Amino acid sequence: MTEFIHRFEPATGAHLPPLLLLHGTGGDENDLLGLGRMISPGSALLSPRGRALEHGMPRFFRRLAEGVFDEDDVRRRALELGDFVADARKRYEIAAPVAVGFSNGANIAAALLLLKPDVLAGAVLLRAMVPLSDPPEAELSGKPVLLLSGQADPIVPSSNSVRLAALLSDAGARVDHKVLPAGHQLSQADVTLARSWIGSVEAKAA
């Protein structure tokens, strides 16, 4: 089994999608549990810690500089994460999760959508960038994706998030891209929009 240090909280509500919580640089398996509980109360929560270290800070893959990714590492670690999710689904008896990723976690979630589309039921990508300069042709027909970008984000250029939205849409995903009056950090608007979006995804699936 591809093992990650992780937290798991079983579902307390019926017919709710499990969430795969993917933290940003320097976070860990505890970082997004509160966010997960806020945006989908009662969902099962699966929250792994990234296994790449940058100056001692956990990440989900290496980077060469700010905004410049080690793309071989992105591919390898996305596949490892996909294997972990597949194993966790059997161990905890959960359905395919909706990824909820922030920053570096959103980038690995986007890579997972492109490299192993069947692993995820959908994704909430918070401050995500295009993870691969030469992505494979993915088949994401109808997969729901919420992409929330910050208008004043100093890390993610607006052109990059627009390109990511187009890339996922072209692969067939049902992308809802919103640009918020925010920077790279999350805001209350992110929580409100993500909660409403997950509610609508649940309603369509029911």
Active site positions, annotated:
103, 153, 184
CA 199 to chain centroid = 17
- Give the span between the Cα atoms of 30 and 7, in whole angstroms: 7
Name residue, tokens 């570096």: 104
**What is the residue type of 88?**
A
Q: Which of 167, 140, 126, 129 is nearest to 39 (CA)?
A: 126
Rounded CA separation 45/86 (Å): 14
122: phi then psi, degrees, rounded to nearest 5: 165, -175
Q: 3-class SS at 64? A: strand
Question: Rounded to 5 degrees, what are φ and ψ at 157?
Answer: -65, 145
Which of 148, 142, 92, 149 is CA-nearest to residue 121? 142
